[in-house]
Amino acid sequence: MADASDSETRTAEALAAVEVDISSLTPGMSLVVKSHGKPVVVRNRTEQEMKDGQAVNLGDLKDPIARNANLTADAPATDANRTTPGKEAWMVMVQVCTHSSCIPLGQEGDFGGWLCPCHGSQYDTAGRIRKGPAPENMAVPVFKFISDTKIRIG
């Protein structure tokens, strides 16, 4: 018979992961879910958004680190390192500005990614900081595709 601590552990594990159905997201669409109390955006990027992200010279980036919890801590901030191999159209990241924890607006700003209206930080289509006071790229949480139409975050 399981004791209370086993039950609490299973409950905590269940609350830590969020499964997201992405079957209705066509290119150019996003949805925001809550994970660990924070908004996480799931975006099906367009071909142009992917091309824009891949064309960025890493030397032009304010933060050269991917900030992807699925990779090593020192992985470079390439467009590919901000996504998942074979699923490069899909961006999954914590939609919180790394300057003051504001919530950036999607598909805004000079780089077509996210714009924080509070202090003007601008992120590109891969969620990398490009302009403004934010010091780091938006974080990519632990996530994985559990099917072609579902992602588990956490």
**Which tens digit of pLDDT belongs to each residue from 58-75?**
999 999 999 999 999 999
What share of the chain in percent tops pLDDT 90? 88
Contact 56, 124 (CB under 8 A): yes
Which are the catalytic amino acids?
A: 119
pLDDT the model gives residue 61: 96
In the chain, where the domains are located: 18-153
Count of beta carbons in the 10 Å neighbourhood of residue 64: 15
Cα–Cα distance, 26 to 90 (Å, whole number)? 11
Q: Which long-range contacts (CB under 8 A, 24 or more apart) does 105-112 make?
A: 106/30, 106/41, 106/43, 107/30, 111/52, 112/49, 112/52
Q: Which architecture, in CATH terms, is 18-153?
A: 3-layer Sandwich (2.102)
**Which residues, at least 6 apart from 43, have a Cβ–Cβ distance to it below 8 Å?**
25, 29, 30, 90, 91, 92, 106
**Residue-wise pLDDT tens digits, 33-63:** 999 899 999 999 999 999 999 999 999 999 9
| pLDDT band at residue 108 under the 50/70/90 scheme | very high
3-state secondary structure of 27: coil
Average pLDDT, the chain: 91
Q: What mean pLDDT comes out for the span 95-124?
A: 95
pLDDT higher than 80, residue 11: no
pLDDT score for 15: 58
